[in-house]
Amino acid sequence: MTDFPETAWPYPRPDSPPLLTPEQAEHSLNVWLVPRFSMLTLFCLLEPLRVANRFGRDLFAWRLLSADGEAVVASNGVRIDVDGALESLEDITRLMVVSSYEAEATVRFQDRAVLRRIAAHGGWLGGLDTAPFILARAGVLEGHRVALHWESVPAFRLEFPELEISPARFEFDTTRLTGSGGAASIDMMLEWIERAYGPALADAVGRQLVHERARGDGGGSQQHRYGELPRSVVRTLAVMEANLAQALPIPEVCLLVGQSQRQLTRLFQRYFGETPQQCYLGMRLDRARQLLADSRCLVTEAALATGFTQPAHFTRAYRRRFDETPSVTAERGSGAMHLQDETTMYI
């Protein structure tokens, strides 16, 4: 997998981009909704892709399908319009099946034929919640580990003893993706985003969704990483986070957390590879970047809001961290209307 720098993805656009068509996006996902599907699973499937599009590029599009092209009623009674019928699309190379109750009740022979056609052409097939039953009965899961909702495991094992059932919440290989559905679908989509564009974007999308991301089933979120840090380091980070607008001198931070500056510096260099001062500066610059890209904040306002009283110092530090001036970030996030007053100061 390609390594991506942490600064490769700007903070989200303040306005959500319009929904994309498959022709506009770099990746498209066709979603077959089976009657009585889980609405939670559908939302958790699509929201990470929508948020990813806010980070400056047109990455993902999706189409909702039903067997006959008519609206589908979810298990909660909500009626969802779709973009077309399953067998009417000839260009399907990536299809996700979403079902829940009575997964096979409405599936027809011609629907399974579509699945077999996609598999025969090396396409990408996925199934969530009870949808692995549909894929397995179409004969397209041989040789693949299968993850599905825990309630369905006994029946699936009885019907398909030759298939390997995974205890994980989802299984993702090159051509098959199966999962338990529900909230686990967020982690599954973050995995796809990471494979396509790197961990920086996937982590940023998770933060926007206020989701503690778990990699695989072991968990690798920032929360878990903080759990491995010394308490004095965690307290220091909290003090810094709470004092971005009025930056405290490091000796004062040390006094508040009850740690000597020498020992704190040693700990920060061990865990982060930088001094407390460098870490604090990075946190303030990250917040400034968020303000510029995610609001209609002026460059001078962002500088003051993150404790920078000297514009020249702010600009130099910002350029070193992000390889662009604050005005460039502001232009991308809020439009050129804010640059007229800033250009002479931040060239």
Q: Give the tens place of pLDDT for each residue, 282-305.
A: 989 988 887 887 667 789 988 998
Residues 218 and 241: beta-carbon distance below 8 Å: no
pLDDT higher at 5 or 252: 252
Q: Give the CATH class of 229-338.
A: mainly alpha
Domains of the chain, residue spans = 27-208, 229-338
Q: Give the tens place of pLDDT for each residue, 63-95.
A: 999 999 999 999 999 999 999 999 887 777 899
**158: Cβ–Cβ under 8 A, 6 or more apart, which residues?**
none
pLDDT of residue 46: 95
Q: Model-level pTM?
A: 0.61
Q: Give the tens place of pLDDT for each residue, 61-70.
A: 999 999 999 9
Percent of the chain with pLDDT over 90: 48
Specify the range with the lowest mean pLDDT, choosing from 112-116, 127-131, 145-149, 230-234: 230-234
Q: Which of 9-18, 49-58, 250-259 has the highest mean pLDDT?
A: 250-259
Q: How does the average pLDDT of the chain come out, rounded?
A: 83
Fold classification of 27-208 (topology level): Rossmann fold (3.40.50)
Query: Which residue is it, tokens 């992000």?
Result: 322
